[in-house]
Amino acid sequence: MSSILVLGKGGQVANAFETLLGSRALVAGADEADFLSKDFIERLENWVGKQPLFAVINAAAYTQVDKAEGEDRAKSFRINAEAVGELAAWCKKRSLPLVHYSTDYVFDGSGSAPRREDEPTGPLNAYGDSKLAGEKALTEHGGDYLLFRTSWLYDSEGKNFFNTMRRLMREKDTLSVVSDQIGAPTYAPHLAKATLFALESAAAMPQFSTGTYHLCASGETSWHGFAQAIFERLKSVEPAIVCQKILPVPSSAYPLPARRPLNSRLDCTRAQNVLGVALPSWKKGLEECFSEILKLDHA
């Protein structure tokens, strides 16, 4: 069976694909595919060689939202936009379907309704601008692609909100967490599994279902609600945690260089209708994440 080339080695989504695909995964990191290098496609092609490929999944991204507002703006656009266009052109040349991930940050966060794929975009920050530019770079090159916008990614081991909360709950008796930003925490292994199903479904159709789709966990909560759920579950597996309470606060309590959208809800109906794929609830993802932590702790 042909391999699937996964870019972004060491990241949450790439790690999930490496576990999910096993020997079928051909996983490339910065050594094999340095997005900052102008010749990264040439280097990637040399590394892949004549290995037969079924598809390419780009799970690489620049995600330092606040740094993108200043010193790393050019870096974010190089990784999230320019290199994506080059990758799309390479995939089209090789007749390979490309999966690429974008974000709820391409929207302005207004209102309270889940955003559909065809609604106007309007990023609030440079990171969102760079991801939107990446979407345009992908679509302009044509070829077969699946562009998935997702939200609030986490897993059991990466650098993310989930693990930051676990650490802080061991250190502080009171935490203050933003309560006016609403979205769907998405467990990376769930996203990887859904992506693979969608990719294989699209490839099996008479014509590949190229397009933009929203794909994140079902349900919704705030960052405070997510933190509270982590806290309640953590108490059952780690009774010695220090934290006693988690206070809800508005976004204005934590002024940051980059503005965050208040409404990160995404309508995932199209992915279900066209590709037959939907993610479990964010609560199910959290429970599975804790199950993975318990396995790691007892390994």
Q: What is the CATH number of the domain that holds 95?
A: 3.40.50.720
Q: Could you tell me if residue 24 is inside a domain?
A: yes
Q: Could you tell me if residue 126 is inside a domain?
A: yes
Position 163 pLDDT exceeds 90: yes
202-252: per-residue pLDDT in tens? 999 999 999 999 999 999 999 999 999 999 999 888 777 899 999 999 999
Q: Could you tell me if residue 200 is inside a domain?
A: yes
pLDDT of residue 249: 97
Q: Could you tell me if residue 64 is inside a domain?
A: yes
Residue 213 bears catalytic tag: no
Q: Are 168 and 223 in contact (CB under 8 A)?
A: no
Q: Could you tell me if residue 81 is inside a domain?
A: yes
122-143: per-residue pLDDT in tens? 999 999 999 999 999 999 987 9
pTM for this predicted structure: 0.95
The tally of domains found in the chain comes to 1
Q: Could you tell me if residue 228 is inside a domain?
A: no
Position 28 pLDDT exceeds 70: yes
168-205: per-residue pLDDT in tens? 999 999 999 999 999 999 999 999 999 999 999 999 99
pLDDT of residue 209: 95
Q: Could you tell me if residue 214 is inside a domain?
A: yes
Nearest to 56 by CA among 82, 12, 20, 92: 92
Nearest to 65 by CA among 55, 53, 73: 73
Of the residues 127, 145, 187, 213, which is catalytic?
Answer: 127
Determine the structural domain holding residue 70 and report its residue range: 3-159+184-219+263-280
First to last CA, the chain: 31
Q: Could you tell me if residue 172 is inside a domain?
A: no
Position 299 pLDDT exceeds 60: no
pLDDT more than 70, % of the chain? 98
Nearest-angstrom CA–CA distance, 284 and 45: 39
